[in-house]
Amino acid sequence: MLENAEYSMISIIVQVAFFFWMAIIAGHLLNIIRKRNEKLIATGIKSKQLEIANKELEGLNRMKSEFVSVVSHEIRTPLTTMKEFIALLLDEIPGKINKEQQEFLSIINESINRLTRLINNMLDISRIESGMVELNRREININTLTNEVIKFLQPQADTKDILIKNSLFLDLPAIYGDWDKILQVLTNLIDNAIKFTPQSGRITIEGKMVNNQILLSVIDTGIGINSEDFDKVFEKFQRIESPTPLQAKGTGLGLSISSSIMEMHNGKIWVESELGKGSKFTISLPEYNEGVFFKDVLKKRFNQVMRNQSFLSLIIVTVENNFEDIEAERLLVGVEDVLKETIRETNDVVVRLEGKKAIGILSEIDKRGALIIKDRILNAVNVYKFLTNVGKPITVAIGLGLATYPDDVTTQEELVDKARKIRPASCLP
């Protein structure tokens, strides 16, 4: 079985070598066409020729992305099988193995892990460049996410006696992003910090709020980076040479992927460093905003129902009592809690709208279903015991606006405009 594993390993290495060879050729061809484009622009050749050259470039880039995706999938399948069989051998399921065999199998297993990481990185690059990555943004507690990454990577840091410290303030606002993608970026930054930090070093995660942006920094006491290489570290396949003997294995893709993910979030990533004195990698992410979140969800849901020829209903709820702003806000929070408990479908969205004066409910149901939800809302509000700030019971009057696609409207804008026409709840059909 060991011989089969070794043979499979050699086969995978050959495939990966071929894969990289083709990627290099594709990159070389892309550079040739780019240079020709530059020459056409410089010499003022007619725009038609430039358009043809651009189409050739786009076609070649698309072929490259498709090639990377297909080959990566083909290689990942045998890698998964090999890893499963290596795990069986290490667990001695087929039979006992000696210490030397265990050592060889562990080396093979680690090589498979490295190849798997390489393939996953290539797939990520391919998907991002081809526009196939769709963000699933939501409200994220940055402390919770950071602690999860630290918990995952601390065992790796322990092998070098490196302390990872979360120094984020507990009251930092939530960020707005894709949990998995931001997790990937932060994992890459801390993983790199561990790799390039000597024994008994220290890694600190800090954060602060600047102009509705949360700045999250990973600071290490590692070998540092020459200022001339700051831009290079975010380029694909870049491995910065270090004057110190501390070198880490890798593909040179992690920071490039991280940079692309930050661009997709309308954020940034940058580095501050000095040779021999450590590095500080910082990412900026937008603060969570319910109005922006609602717009994103509405756009995504509307596009889905148009493709699937299904329904989408929007219900907007307001508190109509004539109170001071503080009291009205407190009652609106109470109404929001009631709505979240009343809505039964897990895919339904209940969120404050822009201005925080109203609550929107988005549900993929037809007009009849929306009216049923409206009745449930009225019943729930009527039986809930609302109190003023002095503890006095009060009846809350609510207004409702309702619109359904395609029963009432034909566009996303019309859906919002019609639902915003708030009427007393009792006047709704």
- Whether residues 282 and 141 share a domain: the answer is yes
Same domain, 145 and 125: no
Alpha-carbon distance of 131 to 398, in angstroms, equals 43
C-alpha pair distances (Å), 242 with each of 158, 200, 225, 298: 23, 20, 8, 49
Phi, psi of 214 (to 5 degrees): -95, 120
Which of residues 237, 268, 286 is at a domain's end? 286
15 and 27 fall within a common domain: yes
CB 182 within 8 A of CB 269: no
Instruction: Give the range among 23-37, 157-171, 328-342 with minimum mean pLDDT.
Output: 23-37
Structurally, how many domains does the chain consist of? 3
Name the more confident of 24 and 254.
254
pLDDT at 41: 59
The CA distances from residue 358 to 138, 291, 317, 398, 419, in Å, are: 20, 10, 6, 10, 11
Are 353 and 217 within one domain?
Answer: no
Q: How far apart are CA 112 and CA 95, in angstroms?
A: 22
Per-residue pLDDT reduced to its tens digit, 116-162: 767 776 677 767 766 667 788 889 999 999 999 999 999 999 999 99
| 242 plus 271 within the same structural domain | yes
CATH (domain of 271): 3.30.565.10
User: Could you tell me if 280 and 217 lie in one domain?
Assistant: yes
Q: Are 180 and 305 in a shared domain?
A: no
393: domain CATH number is 3.30.70.270
pLDDT score of 53: 64
Q: Does 153 share its domain with 247?
A: yes
Per residue in 294-343, pLDDT (tens digit) is 888 899 899 989 988 999 999 998 888 776 656 677 777 888 888 888 87
**384 in the same domain as 306:** yes
Task: Sort 329 into a burial class: Cβ within 10 Å, 0-12 / 13-18 / 19+.
Answer: middle
Alpha helix ranges (H) inside 44-141: 47-90, 99-129
Burial classification of residue 380, based on how many CB atoms lie within 10 Å of its CB (0-12 exposed, 13-18 middle, 19 or more buried): middle
| pTM beyond 0.85, yes or no | no
Verify that 250 and 331 share a domain, yes or no: no
Task: Report which residue type is found at 374.
Answer: K
What's the rounded Cα separation, in Å, for the pair 391 and 389? Answer: 5
Which of 239, 266, 286 terminates a domain? The answer is 286
Residue 115 shares a structural domain with residue 175: no
Q: What angle do CA 293, 297, 300 make, to 5 degrees?
A: 140
Burial label for 166, CB within 10 Å (0-12, 13-18, 19+), is middle
Question: Could you say which of 286, 307, 332 is where a domain stops?
Answer: 286
Q: Amino acid identity, residue 307?
A: R
pLDDT attached to residue 130:
65
Contact (Cβ atoms closer than 8 angstroms) between residue 389 and residue 321? no
Dihedral sign, Cα of residue 242, residue 256, residue 175, residue 267? positive
Residue 303 belongs to domain spanning = 290-427
Residues paired with 47 in a beta bridge = none
Partners of 252 in the beta sheet? none
Could you tell me which of 150, 188, 168, 172 has the C-alpha nearest to residue 269?
188
Q: Quick one: 95 and 184 in the same domain?
A: no
